[in-house]
Structure 1
Amino acid sequence: MLGEAVRVGTRQAPSRVLFGPHVTNLGRGRAFSDRHRAYYAERAAGGCGVIVCETASVHPSDRGYERAPLPGWGAIAGSCGGALLLASLGHSGSQGTSAFTGQAIWGASRVPDVVSREVPQVMEQPEISALVSGFAAAAARATADGLDGVEINAGQHSLLRQFLSGLTNQRTDAYGEDRTLLLREVLTAVRAAVGADAVVGLRLCTDELAPWAGITRDLSLSWFPSPTRESSASDERAGRQPFAHLVDYLVPVRGSGLSVSATRPDAHTPPGFNLSMARAFLGRGVPVVLQGSVVDPSMAEVAVREGFALVEMTRAQIAEPRLVAHVRAGAPERIRPCTLANQHRARDPRNPLITDETEPRSGHETVDPPLPRSPRPRRGSPLLVVGGGPAGMEAARTAALLGRPVRLVERADRLGGALWLAAALPGRARFGLLVEWWERELARLGVEVCLGREMRREELVGDVVLATGSAPSPPTFASDPDVRVLPAAEFLAGAATGAGAGGRGGGESAQRSGSGGTVLAGGPGLPAGAAVVVHDPLGDWTGVGVAELVAAGGLRCALVTPDAVAGTQLARTGDLADANARLERAGVERVLFSRLESVGRGAALVRDVHHGATRELPATVVIDCAHRLPDTALGGHPRIGDCVAPRTVHEAVREGRRVVGC
């Protein structure tokens, strides 16, 4: 069913999968570019049914981020074959910034934004009229440029949501008495501008997660009454056309400025998190799109059978552009899993291009050549790949697709390398799915895999690629034998071993044992009653995740970091506030602005990085989450991944491809 065609308004989409609007930074300045065109075309070629472009600002007063597009879709029109291509239209209002425009930001009321703390200019009738006209003009421009229609953004980052919400709309005029008035005016103007033939969709915040004053599910449901004669007559008497009569589909989303991480959360939030909320809108006179970390085709298929017209699978198609094509071919096992780690989202101060952890070609379609869809005939000299982590597995897979005979040798008793360590952390279990996908791909392509074999230098003959990974760095603090010091990898190896059969699906391995027993089954374990210090000089997901595992085992835990906040790098993934809330709930002591000096005699000595004062923390075990160093023991051959420099899966996969000529 997922791959079947479906009517959307008066148009027909080739499948029930939607690729939603998101920041890409692919623009040429503020204009859509050839990179956008290639990015969207790749998903259309893979079977996507509806593609909604990056949200364009409908008025010059709005510039939410540096490359926020303006109306003008000529560069991407006609790029998506049979897929419906829609323009997302919006205005970020008080969630924007005056830094780019030099003008006051617009807002419904004088309520400072919770992030920027800027107080907006209250919109009067001239600004409101200009906004409505801007939506209509942009919609007309989109259809004139050849797009199939538009999607109006009244979601989390939108001025329209701010008018709908009691959190940000404290007006006493008509737009305060009826907070839906502005959205109705916009939708009416847009429909008049594009006509009955074009598609008009609505992305609507239906729960701000702030029930004391914000939009709630019950309130938003009242905007879509059941299509009875009584409710229609009531709307007509009030002179209001129901939303359901103005749009061709509805995408219910959640979140507000108070809950930024709720819109596209990482894997700490289960896939399909909006299912219950979206289900409430079924049968209310408008086709409903399920949104909310839907990354697995089986979940999407169930949603379609339940009555959802479309299923948004945005991050899933960034990871696997051919998702629908694989479903249609009856080969869903070939779909590259989406990790939901948010490591390569584009909306952060560095302005990176959109891409994916394990599909580095995403966002780089105009510069990176595609891999063959089927393996080429065997030719060329055999390739020996030493190391079965992500870099080695991808090098072997790519070489096999290009037709080379490949032998992959891994010293451990299973493939995956550091991916299993990542999968042992809370909220990162989906990294284990990547290993299973690579295992299936290598078997399908006929790669010879040899496990439990340590290679020697003299055995490295012919074409060899080294992907031998990394090793712990020496501790930067002094220690005595009476305090056990564990590198994070050693600790996580034990957690991964205890996480189900073969360690697959880790991340929830912390278990409280009986009194006097061992906490965190498998591997090194930790004795009950241990006082654990987590040394975190990096500030990424590792230290935070290790501390969560320790605390989940019922142990006293302190996380020592030189930063102002624990896990500071998690700001890039959207998990920073949530991570600190989890640490607070778990009882982890966060020792900030501090450097670990020494450990011994049951204590850890930490020094403040600013004024140098010292203090002692109880410590019988220290878990060191410091940098790792490349393993260069074999040397003398091309190296990829962590044995060049320890980084993320993204770099490992990219180098695995490029080393074999792709």
Structure 2
Amino acid sequence: MSLTDPIKLRGRTAPSRVLFGPHETNLARRREISGRHVAYYARRAVGGAGIIVTEIASVHLSDWPYERAPLAVDAAPGWADVVRACRPHGALVLAGLGHAGAQGSSAFGQQALWGPSRVADVASREVPMEVEQTEIDALVAGFADAARLAARADLDGVEINAGQHSILRQFLSGLTNQRGDGYGGDHKDRLLREVLGAVREGLGEDRVLGLRLCCDEMAPWAGITPEHAAATAAAVAGSIDYLAVVRGSGMSVPSTRPDLHTEPGFNRELCAGIRSGLREAGAEVPVVLQGSVVDHAMAGGALESGVADLVEMTRAQIAEPNLVALVRAGTPERVRPCTLSNQRSCVRDNRNPIVSDEAEPRSGHETEDAAVEGTDAHPRDVLVVGGGPAGMEAARVLASRGHRVRLVESEPELGGALRLAAVVGGRARMGLLIPWWCSELDRLGVKVETGVEVGESDLDAAERDGVAVLLATGSRPGPRAFEAGDGVDVRTVVEFERAVLAAGSTGAALPEGAAVVVHDPIGDWTGVGVAEQVAAAGRACAIVSQDQVAGTQLALTGDLASANTRLQQAGVSRELRSLLRGVGAGKATLEDTYTGERREIDCTVLIDCGHRLPEETLWAARPQHRRAGDCVAPRTVYEAVLEGRRAALAIGAAHRAPLATTGGTR
């Protein structure tokens, strides 16, 4: 059994065993499945996905969990469009159906949340109304009606959500179900069984009914355990056509799709146990492995070893829409790695960001941006200065479109700031992108020169020879917001990580007995990761932040609580609500952001994780050339890749019409 093998479900054949699972996208128009959804899913169908489950649609008006959440009664026309776009490529298309219950939001629908009991949600702290029989009947009818709409839209079936953000999971769990009636106690699965029965009736006998089931809430004192889940799965096995095994609850929302600190494939043991239990009960229901599965070899191994019958690779296919097609073609090395950083794929927040991937910025923007594939009519010579993400992506795109590209980097190796970012504690997966880019540049014949400085005269010579120039020269340290005196070794985070690489370890880059202070005025992954890295090397460490919690921006990627737990466990002192005013004589002076009161802490090494500025010396001297990435403004890998790609496409199109570097191609 391999990834590319077909599988039959209810007489329908999926062309591969790879599932593109339901996830928030913010692609909706009002609460409809939009044209952007259609293009997004169709791109994965073209790339070989076997089953596509659309974004979970609310089955009842009482549920409006986030602003752009689809609603089943509004989604039906869009579902039909998705089917028409995906079916020619063989993919089965299923509608995700659910109700978030107490994990929803009352902000949009302006009505009380529904829940099995009056238990406040641990995230929103809101107490839901305890649903009575009237609401339960309406909920069951909502699922049935949504299934009928899915059948009319000619979908291949539906997937019912009893996992994260689901009232069905809340009914199954002792954490949230404290009822004394026929839906509580020993009958917590009653609502799930009623819903599945109603859905089958509404769907018909010839369409697929899948179930996404939480099999471990990671709260064994009262929550769903693998043992409880196995019994539930066996009880409903005769009603479903496949089972997707997931974990997590309202107390552990990020556990369902955690970031890169959690090892890929974390649900293997859980999934294997549930599948084995089903087989022992005589149920041959296909089981789906979910849980940060992003490597094709790991996915194939899970199938071959009997862990699962299908594999969900959602974030992997956001990063590489052609994943299955590349594996099928015998070129899996060309699959763009998924970093699992969640920086662009985790979009359930009040900014309403569009789902995407840092190294594939066209994901989520398929309708508005031109594809990279193709060949430009007039190939030309191009000099790309800078081998960070912006420069490498620009060189890759230019070469793939037929241009003759020379990429020059002043450092001994390609990677730029990304190479240093991957050294930061817990961020090693970010570095997977570098060898992928290097392999692609080699495959495409890009002439790469490292350890070479480019000056103004080199740019002038290129211009005289008709060579197009793209500057991707990166960033430089920004101004210090504190005074620095003698007696403290002050380093920027870039200088620190360079020393770590040169020394071969974090410990070798720091003096024995050092008292390290990490200055974190930004609050992203950098300061937290450096503090963890320093503590893991056995050095005393404190992190200084003006915020109420360390790494406040990690709330956007789902790592905030986990990061602070790791800091606590590592013994890192968190100096919160504090401004760094100065260092010297073995001390750091901190000022309380509220009271202005000052205090001192030990500090022999200060690592400054503050803002950086563009390295724009070459561009300032020759502003006629295009630029991209941090030399425009230091930001994340996503912006660097996006701008590198835009600049490359603009250079290729220059013979037709000039294109601004901030234009709309990705």
**Which range, TM-score by smaller chain?**
over 0.9
Identity among equivalent pairs (%): 60
- Contact kept, 8 Å, 1:98 with 1:104, in 2: the verdict is yes
Is residue 597 of structure 1 aligned with residue 584 of structure 2? no
- Contact kept, 8 Å, 1:603 with 1:616, in 2: the verdict is yes
Q: Deviations over 1:303-326 (max 9, x none)?
A: 111232210000000000000000
Q: Which residue of 1 aligns with 2:215?
A: 206
Q: Deviations over 1:583-615 (max 9, x none)?
A: 000010101111100111110000011110001
Distance in 1 separating the partners of 2:441 and 2:18: 28
Q: Which residue of 2 aligns with 1:275?
A: 268
Q: Which residue of 2 aligns with 1:121?
A: 129
SS in 1 for 2:563: helix
Q: TM-score, normalised by structure 2?
A: 0.92
Q: Which residue of 2 aligns with 1:649?
A: 637
Distance in 2 separating the partners of 1:4 and 1:156: 29
2:232 to 223, 227, 232: 223
Q: Which residue of 2 aligns with 1:474?
A: 479
Q: Which residue of 2 aligns with 1:238?
A: none
Report how far residue 171 of structure 1 moved: 0.3
Is residue 135 of structure 1 aligned with residue 143 of structure 2? yes
Structure with a larger share of its residues in helix: 2
Q: Which residue of 2 aligns with 1:514?
A: none
SS in 2 for 1:474: coil
Letter in 2 for 1:532: V
Letter in 1 for 2:475: S
Is residue 192 of structure 1 aligned with residue 180 of structure 2? no
Q: Which residue of 1 aligns with 2:662?
A: none
SS in 2 for 1:210: coil
Q: Which residue of 2 aligns with 1:104?
A: 112
Report how far residue 9 of structure 1 moved: 2.6
Report how far residue 492 of structure 1 moved: 1.3
2:241 to 235, 248, 253: 248
Q: Which residue of 2 aligns with 1:530?
A: 514
Is residue 144 of structure 1 aligned with residue 152 of structure 2? yes
- Superposition map of 1:90-489 within 5 A: 90-177=98-185, 178-225=187-234, 242-283=235-276, 284=278, 285=283, 286-307=285-306, 308-344=308-344, 345-372=346-373, 376=375, 379-460=378-459, 461-462=462-463, 463-489=468-494
Q: Which residue of 1 aligns with 2:660?
A: none
Report how far residue 223 of structure 1 moved: 2.1
Distance in 2 separating the partners of 1:246 and 1:593: 54
SS in 1 for 2:275: coil
Report how far residue 495 of structure 1 moved: 2.5
Q: Deviations over 1:59-106 (max 9, x none)?
A: 000000001101123222322121000001000001112111111111
Structure 1 unaligned blocks of 5 or more: 226-241, 500-508, 511-518
Distance in 2 separating the partners of 1:86 and 1:52: 5
1:640 to 598, 604, 628: 628
Distance in 2 separating the partners of 1:606 and 1:377: 57
- Superposition map of 1:539-554 within 5 A: 539-554=523-538
- Contact kept, 8 Å, 1:353 with 1:363, in 2: the verdict is yes
SS in 2 for 1:491: helix
In structure 2, the CA distance between the partners of 1:224 and 1:22, relative to structure 1 (3 Å rule), is closer
Letter in 2 for 1:49: G
Q: Deviations over 1:167-195 (max 9, x none)?
A: 00000000013000000000011111112
- Contact kept, 8 Å, 1:379 with 1:405, in 2: the verdict is no
Distance in 2 separating the partners of 1:413 and 1:629: 22
Q: Deviations over 1:440-462 (max 9, x none)?
A: 00001000000100111100122
- Contact kept, 8 Å, 1:78 with 1:147, in 2: the verdict is no
Report how far residue 377 of structure 1 moved: 8.1
Report how far residue 427 of structure 1 moved: 2.2
Distance in 2 separating the partners of 1:427 and 1:546: 9
Report how far residue 659 of structure 1 moved: 0.8
Distance in 2 separating the partners of 1:347 and 1:466: 35
Distance in 2 separating the partners of 1:266 and 1:605: 34
Letter in 2 for 1:456: G
Q: Which residue of 2 aligns with 1:74?
A: 77
How many residue pairs end up in the alignment?
623
Report how far residue 497 of structure 1 moved: 4.2
Distance in 1 separating the partners of 2:629 and 2:238: 54
- Contact kept, 8 Å, 1:415 with 1:451, in 2: the verdict is yes
Q: TM-score, normalised by structure 1?
A: 0.93
Distance in 2 separating the partners of 1:208 and 1:77: 34
